[in-house]
Amino acid sequence: MIAILVVDDDRMTCDMLAAVFTRQGYHVLTATSGREALDLFRQHRPRVTLLDLRMPEMDGIAVLREIRAIDPVAAVMILAGGVTDVQENQARELRVTDFLRKGLSLNVLVGAVDRVAQQPVPAQSVAVPAQGSVSLAQTGDSILVVDDEPLILELLVQFLTLRGYRVRAAKSGREALALVRQESPQMILLDILMPGMNGVEVLRELRAQEFAGSVVALTGAQSEELLQEAWNLGLQEVVSKPIDLDRLLMVVQLGLVLAEC
């Protein structure tokens, strides 16, 4: 069984990626600190290491430098979130295998790791791929964004598309239901307060159609009555407006993992 080491100081991220890659047949090791990561690397020599750069005490560059001292050709893929030019240059000098943006569709991330894991052990002279070299075309999970505010709709479509998700958009509840009938998405981000047909009414119709995907509510004005009805209809999570994009990504990733389970 191929071993993968996931290194991130966020325990939730480690647990989520461990669940994803374990289902893909990998033996997954996790570490929430640089020192722990190096101990596991020496013991198990994983085929691929997924390494967060921004960690306290011992950052990803320091970990990568130590890994290179142990194994000059080990496959190390950086999980890049807010990486600086200096960090990127340092990682490239240390022959990092690839950069992967944090928040990528899990299908895209798995595909990138699969490609590296299935290759022969790379020679030291192999060129480093360019940042963002992972192909995103039609490989991501499908998401439908439903919101009557055009600016929010455009922002979320662009934001999620850049992270490898296949995204469609609807400006109303009726349009959303029509798109679901054409192709059922794995997740719906659904504005609760919309004119004509609000999010709860859309959710009620989805349940009548036996929609099996995840539904996350987007709301700017808390309506306890509407939200309670939405929870009763199997709502997965609520994301408040203005939207924290980092939190939204975590909600999306966890929701897709739970849907697969």
Q: Give 100-123 pLDDT, tens digit per residue.
A: 877 778 888 898 899 888 876 544
pLDDT tier, 135 (very low <50, low <70, confident <90, very high otherwise): very low
Mapping DSSP to helix (H, G, I), strand (E, B) and coil, where does residue 187 land?
strand
| Statement to judge: residues 177 and 251 lie in one domain | yes
| Statement to judge: residues 93 and 177 lie in one domain | no
pLDDT digits (tens, 9 = 90+) for 23-47: 999 999 999 999 999 999 999 999 9
Quick one: CA dihedral 232, 234, 236, 241, positive or negative? Answer: negative
Q: Round to whole Å and give the CA distance between 191 and 37.
A: 41
Residue 127 inside a domain? The answer is no
Report percent pLDDT > 70 for the chain: 89
Per-residue confidence (pLDDT) for residue 2, from 0 to 100 = 92
- Tally Cβ neighbours within 10 Å of residue 222: 11
CATH number of the domain residue 49 falls in: 3.40.50.2300
| Statement to judge: residues 49 and 100 lie in one domain | yes
pLDDT of residue 204 exceeding 70, the answer is yes
Please tell me the pTM assigned to this model: 0.58
pLDDT digits (tens, 9 = 90+) for 163-199: 778 899 999 999 999 999 999 999 999 999 999 999 9
Residue 174 inside a domain? The answer is yes
pLDDT of residue 149 exceeding 80, the answer is yes
| Statement to judge: residues 111 and 48 lie in one domain | yes
pLDDT of residue 125 exceeding 80, the answer is no
At what angle are helices 199-208 and 224-232 packed, to 10 degrees? 10
Residue 134 inside a domain? The answer is no
Domain that holds residue 61: 3-117
Between the alpha carbon of residue 226 and those of residues 47, 71, 208, 230, the distances in Å are 49, 56, 18, 6
